A and B are shown apart, each in its own frame.
Chain A
Amino acid sequence: MTKPKSSDKTGTEKAGDKKWVLKLYVAGQTPKSLTAFENLKRICEEHLKGEYRIEVIDLIVNPKLARGDQIIAIPTLIRKLPEPVKKIIGDLSNTENVLVGLDIKLME
């Protein structure tokens, strides 16, 4: 199982011109965090087809970053782009809710 690292970037390397920018906030290498990351990768691959960039932020390492996006629950996923900003919490096991929450249209 791949372990999520801070500021891990996947998808294409061209920074800044991805359609989807997603930030995943975790607190250390907990099972929930790992599950969330796995689920996220899977959903992105399935529905966003490379048009995405995932940033993982570990609050244990950078606690002050929680303030900016008002993070309380862990894990929290923030959709930075496209706007408007959306926030969903949980380990992302409920795929349907994730899609609705991120407002991702189901691909045919």
Chain B
Amino acid sequence: MKAKKKIPVLEKCPSGIAGLDEITDGGLPKGRPTLICGGAGSGKTLIAMEFLARGAIDQNEPGVYITFEERRDDLVKNFASMGLDLEDLIRKKKLIIDQIRINTAEIYETGEFDLDGLFIRLADHVETIGAKRIALDTIEVLFSAFSNAEVIRSELQRLFLWIKDQGLTAIVTGEQGERTLTRYGLEEYVADCVITLDNRVVNQISTRRIRVVKYRGSKHGSDEYPFLISEDGITVLPVTSLSLRHIASSDRVSTGIERLDTMLGGKGFYRGSSILITGEAGTGKSSLIAAYLDAACRRKERCLYFAFEESESQIIRNMRSIGYDLQQWVDADLLRFHAIRPTAYGLEMHLAIMTKLIQEFEPKAVAIDPISNLFTIGDDIQVRSMLMRMIDYLKLKEITSLYTNLTTEQGPTQYSVETTQAHVSSLMDSWIGLKTIEGNGERNRALYLLKSRGMAHSNQVREFILSENGIGLIDAYIGSEGVLLGSARTVQEIKDRAGKLAREQEIARKQRNLELKKRSMETDIIALKEKYAEEEREVEILMEQDKERETLIASERKEMAVHRTADR
């Protein structure tokens, strides 16, 4: 059987940079040059160096780094703070950093020339350590150094051909141009793969973004992706999977409050569902989260708490006052907090950081408290989009998520339909509303379910009590004037009890009356019966007497007849 001829597939060179290999579907094109362009400070040098360093460490591919602008020692120092020990790699002959200094002032052009000097230098380095990767940062300096742009262009073409011949995977960095991708149009020569970096500042918050503009011969994610620069180097976060391909679990998890479980079809939330808790300030939204997380931690499930308003210690202190000890779970490393103000980063960055933490910690439950102040760093569409991606990501991982949202009272009646900003509620599977109800000089809390997909749930309002024993849910009294809560309810309950007692007593009294009547009636009946019996006897006697008289009369008549000597 003849084997099928193998179609040559573009070989990829894994970059080792977190997330970059995902959006490039495997890495950079092997043996080809990749152009990375961006503005000043966008991270080009970082990516180039990390590509070489990781190649040397992870793939055992030595690399040569040619820098035209930065000094070798500065580079080594900068990267040391990112956990990359370049000196060590240099010593082990896995990396060469060479700085090429071009002083324009001292260059006099006196005739034809080429850039063989550069080539020879590069070739020498590559040979010395057997390099497989090379970075040129930023080669555009050549254009500003020499006046003859044509020569430079043709030399660069020659250079890239040489690099391809050598089978080197190269990264070439370029400054962003006005109308072209790079200032000098490098993209015409480095056409295999082009990546742009962006560092936009919107509303005083900067977000770094990376985009694969072009990748010949390979599919790639074409969107912009946020990326972080941290002590672990660069992390690209490809967080835009909106495929809705997650599987719905039928497992149920307890909410941590028994009464609430019964309201939710008797069993609680679905695992992996998204739960929204809305309410005005002070209604106790965070306490519901504490209850759930406490129960989850008891089940030995890890939980991650993203706090956008309060600090970790504040939340722990507050929850302790209602009987939930979250500190014990923090100590057991079952609960982790990440508290930060929304204004610290842009929305994309928040999403990127949060998904990174979730990937690292692998929790079964995530709480975001609150989501309302995310609207200070983005408009409705942006925040909604970010939440959509977060929810999608969490559902894919079957992580149950809880979100609190601050709402303000709307409408004239106490139970007007709550609308959430940007209709965030439509993204959620379950929606719990908390309200404070004022009346009789006090404010009481109420809880009710607005929706819970996939299960029968109670439509009743419950009174929501926070005490140092935790959360309690009591049936609210629904009377003729409406729902009564708090002391009004207590008063009404007392009234009810008193009323009930009075009625019971009334019934008892009536029963006694009836008894008496019955007895007297029975006595009457007996008397009547006797009287009747007597009369009966009398009548009998009379009848007897009558009969006797008749007999006597008859006998007397006969006698008389005999006396008259009747014929007979």
Q: Point out residues on A near B: beta carbons under 8 Å.
A: 25, 27, 30, 32, 35-36, 39, 59-60, 63-64, 66-67, 70-77, 85-94, 97-98, 100-101
Contacts and interface: CB of A to CB of B under 8 A. Distances in A.
Contacts of A92: 110-111
B415 interface: no
CB-CB nearest 8 A-B residue pairs:
A101-B108, A90-B111, A93-B111, A91-B111, A74-B116, A90-B110, A27-B116, A88-B108
Contacts of A87: 103, 106-108
Given A59-B117, A63-B123, A67-B121, A72 B102 contact: yes
A86 B124 CA distance: 25
Interface of B: 98, 100-103, 106-118, 120-121, 123-124, 142, 146
A86 B98 CA distance: 22
A70 to B, nearest CB: 5
Contacts of B106: 85-87
A45 to B, nearest CB: 17
B121 A88 contact: no
19 contacts: A25-B117, A27-B116, A27-B120, A32-B113, A39-B111, A66-B124, A70-B101, A72-B100, A72-B115, A72-B142, A74-B116, A89-B113, A90-B112, A91-B110, A94-B109, A94-B110, A97-B110, A97-B111, A101-B110
A67 B112 CA distance: 22
A66 B110 contact: no
A75 to B, nearest CB: 6
Contacts of B98: 67
Given A72-B115, A74-B114, A90 B120 contact: no
B301 to A, nearest CB: 60
Contact of B120 (A66, A86, A98, A100): A66
Given A63-B123, A72-B100, A89 B118 contact: no
Contacts of A60: 120
Nearest to A88: B108
A73 B113 contact: yes
A28 to B, nearest CB: 8
A73 B112 CA distance: 10
Contact of A93 (B112, B114, B115, B146): B112
